Amino acid sequence: MSASFSPPPILSFAEMATSISELHQAHAHMLKTGLIHDTFAASRLITSAASTSTPHTISHAHSIFTRLSNPNSYIYNTMIRAYANSPTPENALLLFHQMLYDFVVPDKYTFTFVLKGCASFAGLEEGRQVHGHVLKIGTGCDEYIQNTLIHLYAKCGCFKIAHNLLDRMPMRDVISWNAILSAYVEMGLMESARHLFDEMPERNVESWNFMISGYVGVGLVEEARSVFDDMPLKNVVSWNALITGYAHASCL
């Protein structure tokens, strides 16, 4: 693609679309002009349709996807990511299997998205199968995949596996720690969450907010306030969580 390449105006229209009807208009125009058969153009339209991850837009994106003769890994990844963030994350796994069936080679983004989908519906066995593909292809050392695997196993209650993955990571960051911390909080295991929080070499705003929301969720408002008071930089999420906790406590 040359440096002077300028995308057709219809693609800009599709990317700025604010309704499903506008996406239908863009799709109809691309069908009429034959632009839909261009992989780059089709991928842009699918990305636009799938970006909001609502049932209607994802359904439209999938209808475009099914009409493509040879979707590449980027297009597959776009659809898998959309499903992973949707109310039906199990469809991300189905599309991943279709990708393999079509002999399209998955990359680190594919695995990150499909593992996120597995975590969303707590699909432990499905996640283990995807983990097997990761090891087979040899992308298991990728930081993003490692963090998503940690989140998957922790979300499914396999904290020992999650901690083992964390311990073996050559480059751990706050996202790696938060992947386990958030799972403890979601399950209401605040004692374990507190132990992990105290061990973390670094914390970000999200780490602190997990703890505040977690304590509020199990009714320990004063513990939430203690964390809030120690928090160096608070944001609107921090304030809202604590206010919600006090409001709920006053109604009891």
Q: What is the CATH number of the domain that holds 160?
A: 1.25.40.10
- Is the same domain home to 40 and 120? yes
Give 53's DSSP letter. -
Distance from CA of residue 2 to its chain's centroid? 33
Q: Domain for residue 7, yes or no?
A: no
55 domain-assigned? yes
Report the C-alpha gap between 137 and 154 in whole angstroms. Answer: 23
Whether 179 and 150 have beta carbons less than 8 Å apart is answered as: yes
Is there a single domain that holds both residue 205 and residue 83?
no
Q: Is the pLDDT of residue 192 over 80?
A: yes
Q: What pLDDT, on the 0 to 100 scale, is given for residue 18?
A: 63
Show which of 141, 172, 203 is a domain's final residue. 172
Same domain, 37 and 150: yes
Distance CA 39, CA 58 (A): 18
- Give yes or no: residues 161 and 198 share one domain: no
**Shared-domain flag, residues 154 and 226:** no
Q: Does residue 79 lie within any of the structural domains?
A: yes
Tell me what the mean pLDDT of segment 227-248 comes to. Answer: 96
Both structure tokens of 45: 């339209």
- 210 within 8 A of 178, measured Cβ to Cβ: yes
Are 163 and 195 in a shared domain? no
- 53 falls in which pLDDT band (50, 70, 90)? low
CA–CA separation, 22 vs 14, rounded Å? Answer: 7
pLDDT at 149: 96
Q: Would residue 18 count as lying in a domain? A: no
Q: How far is CA 221 from CA 46, 191, 192, 203, 243, in A?
A: 45, 14, 17, 21, 10
CA triple 214-218-222, angle to 5 deg: 80
Question: Which stretches of 102-235 are DSSP H helices?
Answer: 108-120, 124-137, 143-155, 159-168, 174-186, 190-199, 205-217, 221-230
Task: Report which of residues 67 and 158 the model is more confident about.
Answer: 158
DSSP state of 201: S
| Same structural domain, 103 and 210 | no
pLDDT (average), residues 211-233: 97
Specify if 17 maps to a domain: no
What is the span of the domain harbouring residue 70? 28-172
Identify the pLDDT of residue 42: 80
Say which range, 9-13, 45-49, 73-77, 143-147, has the weakest mean pLDDT: 9-13
Q: Over 60: is that where the pLDDT of 1 sits? A: no
Q: How far apart are CA 213 and CA 218, in angstroms?
A: 9
Q: What is the pLDDT of residue 145?
A: 94
